[in-house]
Amino acid sequence: MTDEFVESGPTDEVGDEWEAIDVRDTEADRIARQKDREFSEFRKRLKNTEQFKVEGSVFDDATYAALYKLVQDDYLQAFGGPISTGKEANVYEALDDEGETVAVKVYLTTTSNFQQMSDYLEGDPRFEGIRGSTTKVVIAWVRKEYSNLKRAQAAGVAVPNPLAVQRNVLVMEYLGDEEGPAPTLVDVTIENPETAYSVVRKYMRRLYDAGLIHGDLSEFNLVFHDGQITVIDVGQAVTVHHPNAEEFLERDCRNIASFFADLDVDVTTESLRSYLETEASPPSRD
Ligand code: ATP
Ligand code: MN
């Protein structure tokens, strides 16, 4: 199945880099096992900072090791406060090597949503064979989010630029300014809903053309940054070949149509779907 997908079209040019990586034993796991003096000091220091004391109390050593590795590899130099804390992941502000703000999404390997995550990965040809422990599934999930971001970006969809991935940690471009993270569409007054809708619709079509369905698209996962709409949270996005692709597409269309219909845009779930399906041509299976 993987081979078929690899041959199936232009969308395969990006997004499959993770396959070379062994999910069984990441560099972070090795660091956590060895616990040399430098890592132990790093972990202690981080554990004692306010934000990690509160939010990160459930982080395991391998998560600290992943953050440590990202510092070693010059992706990060300092950690800031949490932007968002959730059941599956926390998003933090951090500084990159050059002192620019970046966003760091740290997935909890103790997630209670393990079963649901497995279901999303299950039908995805890029993730065949990834089963087993929660940790493995989470690691695969983060790789998937990274590769989905790359794929979306290559397709011309505005998403946060993915910078690095290490075990259960994803580093990406920070959306926001000195005053804080960019608001989602829920928290802004949309001055021109027609235009906003046409942008979202265009992004949905580009994603679909690239063989991806977001799967959790709504006003909560669209942020308004730097004068433009940006799509976030693509970890669960599936390829159009996924057994539940149809259901996810329908739900995305329903969420988006109802949000914009409430703002008096002339849109229905059906009209959005037919726009995507008649105009777009996702890669076929053969
Ligand atoms: P949820 O379960 O709330 O959907 P999640 O754990 O799936 O959250 P995201 O939706 O990716 O994670 O991010 C959670 C919140 O963090 C977003 O609503 C947004 O406010 C913020 N956020 C995510 N990515 C970034 C980013 N790159 N820059 C700035 N803020 C971000
Ligand atoms: Mn979200």
Residue 216 appears among annotated catalytic residues: yes
16 is catalytic: no
Ligand whose nearest atom lies closest to the CA of 160: 1
% of the chain residues with pLDDT over 90: 65
Q: What is the pLDDT of residue 286?
A: 52
* Model confidence pLDDT, tens digit, residues 117-157: 777 777 776 766 666 677 888 888 899 999 999 999 999 99
pLDDT at 278: 83
Name the residue with higher pLDDT: 262 or 82: 262
Cα–Cα distance, 47 to 44 (Å, whole number): 5
> pLDDT value at position 20?
46
State the pLDDT confidence band at 16, using cuts at 50, 70 and 90: very low
Q: Is the pLDDT of residue 53 over 90?
A: no
Predicted local confidence at residue 233, as pLDDT: 97
* pLDDT for res 13: 41
Q: Which of 129-133, 169-173, 254-258 has the lowest mean pLDDT?
A: 129-133
Q: What is the mean pLDDT of residues 33-42?
A: 94
Quick: pLDDT tens for 178-188.
999 999 999 99
Report CA(202)–ligand 2 centroid distance (Å): 20
Is the pLDDT confidence value at 41 over 80? yes
Cβ atoms < 10 Å from Cβ of 198: 14
230: CA distance to ligand 1 center in Å? 12
Q: Is the pLDDT of residue 6 over 60?
A: no
* CA dihedral of residues 42, 48, 51, 52 (deg, nearest 10): 60
Spatial contact of 241 and 171, defined as CB atoms under 8 Å apart: no
Q: Tell whether the torsion through CA atoms of 142, 144, 145 and 149 is positive or negative.
A: positive
Which has more confidence, 90 or 59?
90
Q: Regarding predicted confidence, which is higher, 121 or 228?
A: 228
Q: Where are the domains of the chain?
A: 7-174, 180-279
Tens digit of pLDDT for each residue in 62-107? Answer: 999 999 999 999 999 999 989 998 888 999 999 999 999 999 999 9
Q: Check whether 111 has a pLDDT greater than 70.
A: no
User: What topology does CATH give the domain 180-279?
Assistant: Transferase(Phosphotransferase); domain 1 (1.10.510)
pTM: 0.87
- Scan for tokens 């430098």, then name that residue: 38
The CA 286 to ligand 1 mean position distance, Å, reads 36
What's the CA angle centered on 175, arms 91 and 111, to 5 degrees?
A: 20
For the record, the structure tokens of 246 come out as: 């149809």
Query: Distance between CA 159 and CA 195 in Å, rounded?
Result: 18
pLDDT reading at 18 higher than 60:
no
Tell me which residue of 92, 50, 87 sits closest to 67, measured CA to CA: 92
Provide φ and ψ at 281, rounded to 5°.
-140, 85
Say if ligand 1 is within 6 A of residue 172 CB: yes
* Amino acid of residue 19: E
Query: Under CATH, which architecture does the 7-174 domain have?
Result: 2-Layer Sandwich (3.30)
Asked whether 158 lines ligand 1 (CB < 6 A), one says: no
Asked, colleague to colleague, whether 7-174 and 180-279 share their fold, the answer is: no
Instruction: Inform me whether the pLDDT recorded for 11 exceeds 70.
Output: no
Q: Which of 233, 252, 262, 264 is catalytic?
A: 233
Rounded CA gap, 173 and 35, in Å? 30
CA atoms within 13 A on the CB side of 10: 10
